[in-house]
Structure 1
Amino acid sequence: MTDWNEEVDVLVAGSGGGLAGAYTAAREGLTVAVVEATDLFGGTTAYSGGGGVWFPCNPVLARAGVDDSFEDALTYFRAVVGDRTPAELQETYVRGGARVIEYLEQDEAFSFQMFPWPDYFGRAPKARLDGKRHIIPTPLPAAALGELSGSVRGPLSTDRQGAPQPEYLIGGRALIGRFLLGIAKYPDVSLYRNAPLVELVVADGAVTGAIVERDGERVAIRARRGVLLAAGGFEGNDELRARYGVPGRARDTMGPWGNTGRAHEAGIAAGAAVDLMDQAWWSPGLIHPDGRAAFALWFTGGIFVNQAGERFVNESAAYDRLGRDIIDRMTEGAVSLPFWMIYDDAEGGVPPIKASNVPMVDAEEYVAAGLRHSADTLAELATKIGVPADALTATVARFNEHAAAGIDPDFGRGDEAYDRAFSNGESPLTPIVKGPFHAAAFGISDLGTKGGLRTDTAARVLDADGNVIPGLYAAGNTMAAVSGTVYPGGGNPIGASVLFSHLAAVDMAARF
């Protein structure tokens, strides 16, 4: 194909962690075009409450005096990921994050702070129970972005409920804002919204550019150095979820509506190999009156019960581990949807959830939708949610005994550091004793799919024979996750997205 409408050195599809690639390419002197499928920048990253990255031994942690080593961090990461992904890819991730932070901090647009968040497998060797492998971007005034101030996706309260955007960007929105702030210094970067990548252009086995639908028009963009696919997962596409066996529904994902897998399909059509396509970043989901189950964490009480009125899981486990346990029980037939959080009136009728991510609305709306029930007795509550009264009563009595002893022999709730992260290190076993008693409906949610194109340590996409496809790179949830089938720690998804986007740009800058 020779009839190009535009030419750049680097084309980046996606504006979440992929902005790290755009920023790096621009800073290294390359011309860049970023194409975002939706009307706002940020992708799934912008919905992250913390926007953190799991980057052991980075400069922020070093300045805080954290005593850690790459060897310890790599021991932990390999222990939980195993051999599900290539060892060299794991090592690249664990060792590479610190260098990215060092690179970014040379630019005043970037600022980070330590935000301790325990590793998610506290019993694994060299797990960091104090959470000091995790940092977050510092908040940023939205006004600092100038004309781009209203262009960052989120927060969820805005996108799903119409709330006004806050004056400060925090969490993932702050990270996106800081990348946009950094990119603004370079005139050779074009940012396009409403511009999904729909097809890659391949010549003699190499990717030379892409076809983009920009504001409804097909535009052919030549990419002299390469194309970086960092357009999120395919969690918003029920057909692809079914094809690859991803549990759950598109409506219950936390990914933005544009994450439909078009970049995946373009990569596959160009010969890319894929992996982990049945995987996602899981979580339990509080069901809201709009019928959507949304990621929820920070439970200060309550237990989950199934259709038999029995507990079936450690409710305080890290959300991906908890989500996977729920899915396993669903597969066995031990859990059907919805399942229920049972809690007492210690905090009133509101579920003991301090981070619902999508803000809870008026209680009456949940009641009207059949998603929340209350009763003076557990037996009466059981009738309302359709579970055996004697079983629910016995379940709560048994749990209360465990709470009094401070030990959960059934599911180990409280046995790991993360379990106690939201109870000031104390036991998370809170007895259910004060009536009236309540039940809130839960489903399964996800933070996006994690299956994607297989890559090498420079984020270069590989074909089925393990050979590099020249000119094609992938990162974020368009790349097969370096963490395999697990979620080692908070900030792993965003961290990997930022790192491999950066490495892709570094490789492209060195190509000629």
Structure 2
Amino acid sequence: MNWDEEVDVLVAGSGGGLCGAYTAAREGLTVAVVEATGEFGGTTAYSGGGGLWFPCNPVLRRAGVDDTLDDALTYFRAVVGDRTPAELQETYVCRGGAVIEYLEQDDSFSFEVFPWPDYFGKAPKARLDGKRHIVPTPLRADRLGALSDSVRGPLATDRLGAERPRTLIGGRALIGRFLLGLSKYPNASLRLNTALDELIVEDGTVTGAVVEREGVRTAIRARRGIILAAGGFEGNEELRERYGVPGTARDTMGPWGNVGRAHQAAITIGADTDLMDQAWWSPGMIHPDGRAAFALWFTGGLFVNQDGVRFVDESAPYDRVGREIIDQMRSGATTLPYWMIYDDTTGVVPPVQATNVPMVEPEKYEAAGLWHTAQTIEQLAALIGVPGQALVATVERFNELAERGHDEDFGRGDEAYDRAFSEGRSPLVPLGAGPYHAAAFGISDLGTKGGLRTDVAARVLTASGEPIPGLYAAGNTMAAVSGTVYPGGGNPIGASVLFSHLAALDLLAR
């Protein structure tokens, strides 16, 4: 092979997988990060919190949290079951704290406790106070210098053209801190608009890759190995259809560059995959551009289907709500759009406090037929095309349950997460007097979670379970350690950070 250049480690992707690049560079290896788009951060940069689900990490210990790894592992295994290997689950739960300890040795990194209840509050050893979750502290953009304009997001900027804030928060702060850390090491290079296109195998070992920038292909030898952390394939409609991923590329929250090129390159050389029909789901409020975008933190309202009937716990964790919607769609019980019905407490604007993509002017939703207003429930039903008597009965039943303070039908408010946005009060809020409103919702996702099957060192495996020498995967390019569930906020980013870090540590031993 005629190589154009050589490094020790090549990292494809610039989201949570930057932890692998940072680890390798800090330990003295030469590193090249290739990012297919014009901005760093991947889906991680769009995360509102940038959270990490790492039980018993140093930040939590300093705060006096009394959790144990045994309890956390009991919870995780109870929720995930045997869908993924037990040793992979144990690695995720038990080794995240060490990553935070490693990062905090560098003043580029700073974290704080951000309580976020586990998503299965009735599972054994669930942490209802949310103290398995931390977030990066905000970062002033000027600390990054010229790099600050290269951090993806926020969504208000990318989709609506809003000015970028001068302080990075959430996922953008995490990406910014990794970039800040990497900037200390001249042995690390960062390349935008450069996509990994092909993996090179020599004598059974991945020795490098061909990357493409503006039509120019460059062969890069990776003496130690390659870490694939290039996100999912949620933006590739053809792959979504091939693997049976519900929803559409239009409605994903992943950035446009997440089209599965790293997946395909690895599959071509014999990598095994798992969970390829899975994603991180959520309800999606439909915006005037026609796209459904991840929405949570509902302070009122209820969801109804095309029959005017309520069908789900609206306040449940978003992935669980999304999966119920998908199950209903598959059975034909619910079609898109479904509707949020609400009273005039917040005016025409839906009682949704976290839309992720900011709302625009109400008249644009109304002109697009996405928001409707009527003086009575019967009139509202006619506007959204659902049976009037059924919708009246649904609202009456909902109000009856709200007055009792217990949702006998769907359990809204029965778990800690349901009450996370209402200061512990019941999220069952009865609809008052008219006028009444309806807002259209669909299904969104935070990215696909199917990918390359790996071992506990993040080494990519073949179908026979043998590691492919020189090839590693993390983040949404890796088959999710959580299987078909979403155990807690910060699980996707946490797994990306941890397994890219473990990959770098394994590379050091090569």
For Structure 1 versus Structure 2, the TM-score category normalised by the shorter chain is over 0.9
Per-residue Cα deviation, 1:370-397 (whole angstroms, up to 9, x for no partner): 0000000000000000000000000000
Asked if the contact 1:346–1:434 (Cα under 8 Å) also holds between the matched residues in 2, the reply is: no
CA shift, 1:347, in A, is: 1.2
Asked if the contact 1:282–1:324 (Cα under 8 Å) also holds between the matched residues in 2, the reply is: yes
CA shift, 1:216, in A, is: 2.4
CA shift, 1:147, in A, is: 1.4
- Listed as ranges, the matches of 1:130-279 within 5 Å are 130-279=129-278
- Listed as ranges, the matches of 1:93-492 within 5 Å are 93-492=92-491
Q: Percent identity?
A: 77
Asked if the contact 1:56–1:134 (Cα under 8 Å) also holds between the matched residues in 2, the reply is: yes
Question: Partners of 1:79 and 1:316 in 2: how far apart?
Answer: 22
Question: Partners of 1:42 and 1:318 in 2: how far apart?
Answer: 25
SS in 2 for 1:260: coil
Asked if the contact 1:209–1:227 (Cα under 8 Å) also holds between the matched residues in 2, the reply is: yes
Question: Partners of 1:18 and 1:485 in 2: how far apart?
Answer: 21
| Residue type of the alignment partner of 2:70 | E
CA shift, 1:509, in A, is: 0.8
| Residue type of the alignment partner of 2:185 | Y
What is the aligned length? 510
Question: Partners of 2:328 and 2:433 in 1: how far apart?
Answer: 29
CA shift, 1:214, in A, is: 1.8
SS in 2 for 1:149: helix
SS in 2 for 1:45: helix
Question: Partners of 1:95 and 1:127 in 2: how far apart?
Answer: 16
- Listed as ranges, the matches of 1:2-21 within 5 Å are 3-21=2-20
SS in 1 for 2:66: coil
SS in 2 for 1:473: strand
SS in 2 for 1:412: coil
Question: Partners of 2:433 and 2:262 in 1: how far apart?
Answer: 52
Question: Partners of 2:421 and 2:300 in 1: how far apart?
Answer: 10
Question: Partners of 1:350 and 1:400 in 2: how far apart?
Answer: 20
Question: Partners of 1:465 and 1:242 in 2: how far apart?
Answer: 26
Per-residue Cα deviation, 1:310-347 (whole angstroms, up to 9, x for no partner): 00000000000000000001111010000000000011
Question: Partners of 1:445 and 1:206 in 2: how far apart?
Answer: 38
1:70 aligns with 2:64: no
TM-score by length of 1: 0.99
CA RMSD across the alignment: 0.4
TM-score by length of 2: 1.00
CA shift, 1:215, in A, is: 2.9
| Residue type of the alignment partner of 2:394 | T
| Residue type of the alignment partner of 2:229 | A
SS in 2 for 1:113: strand
Asked if the contact 1:271–1:463 (Cα under 8 Å) also holds between the matched residues in 2, the reply is: yes
Asked if the contact 1:56–1:69 (Cα under 8 Å) also holds between the matched residues in 2, the reply is: yes
Per-residue Cα deviation, 1:460-502 (whole angstroms, up to 9, x for no partner): 0000100000000000000000000000000000000000000
Question: Partners of 1:157 and 1:477 in 2: how far apart?
Answer: 23
Runs (5+) with no aligned partner, structure 1? none
Runs of 4+ off more than 6 Å:
none
Question: Partners of 1:397 and 1:318 in 2: how far apart?
Answer: 25
Question: Partners of 2:166 and 2:365 in 1: how far apart?
Answer: 30
Asked if the contact 1:13–1:229 (Cα under 8 Å) also holds between the matched residues in 2, the reply is: yes
Question: Partners of 2:104 and 2:21 in 1: how far apart?
Answer: 16
| Residue type of the alignment partner of 2:55 | P
Question: Partners of 1:504 and 1:254 in 2: how far apart?
Answer: 27
Question: Partners of 2:16 and 2:206 in 1: how far apart?
Answer: 21
Per-residue Cα deviation, 1:94-133 (whole angstroms, up to 9, x for no partner): 0010000000000000000000000000000000000000
Asked if the contact 1:13–1:197 (Cα under 8 Å) also holds between the matched residues in 2, the reply is: yes
SS in 2 for 1:415: coil
